Amino acid sequence: QLQLQESGPGLVKPSETLSLTCTVSGGSISRSGYYWGWIRQPPGKGLEWIGTIYYSGNTYYNPSLKSRVTMSVDTSKNQFSLKLTSVTAADTAVYYCARHAPGGIAAAAAHIQHWGQGTLVTVSS
């Protein structure tokens, strides 16, 4: 049974960098064909795609966040990570890591098979 677990600070100061890690268990992050992603949900609001990464390192970012987002994969630890720079209160949200379905990016990115439980990150001084 694939499981994903987000970890990282729950409180980040404005203008600083939000850093989260997703640890994958029950399956290999290097399994060919699968993409891994981050999605966030501000309190009381809807879902927003942040970005998606393939185990080889290919990345796809939301254009509205692209200038502030970096995703990476550590296959030795079976983890992938998210960094979001210059955060503001608008970045306060529950952040979910996820595994997309296999296939091409256009079919896979909107098809999320497994979700982490989510972690609330609050941006406040």
Partner 1 sequence: QSVLTQPPSASGTPGQRVTISCSGSSSNIGSNTVNWYQQLPGTAPKLLIYTNNQRPSGVPDRFSGSKSGTSASLAISGLQSEDEADYYCAAWDDSLNGPVFGGGTKLTVL
Asked whether position 107 contacts partner 1 by CB under 8 A, the answer is: yes
Which CB, 15 or 122, lies closer to partner 1?
Answer: 122
User: Do 38 and 51 contact (CB within 8 A), yes or no?
Assistant: yes
| C-alpha pair distances (Å), 29 with each of 10, 44, 52, 80, 108 | 25, 31, 13, 8, 15
- Nearest approach in angstroms of CB 92 to partner 1 is 17
* Residue 27 vs 118, nearer CB to partner 1: 118
Q: How far is the CB of 16 from partner 1 (least distance, A)?
A: 25
Which of 34, 36, 38, 49 contacts partner 1 by CB under 8 A?
A: 49
Examine residue 38 and tell whether it contacts partner 1 (CB under 8 A).
no
Does position 120 interact with partner 1 (CB under 8 A)? The reply is: no
Q: Enumerate residues 6+ apart whose C-beta is below 8 A from 46.
A: none
| 55 near partner 1, rule: CB under 8 A | no
Instruction: Between 13 and 111, name the residue whose CB sits nearer to partner 1.
Output: 111
- Token pair 């990345």 is found at 59
Q: Which of 86, 38, 94 is nearest to 61 (CA)?
A: 38
Q: Is there a contact between 118 and 6 (Cβ–Cβ < 8 Å)?
A: yes
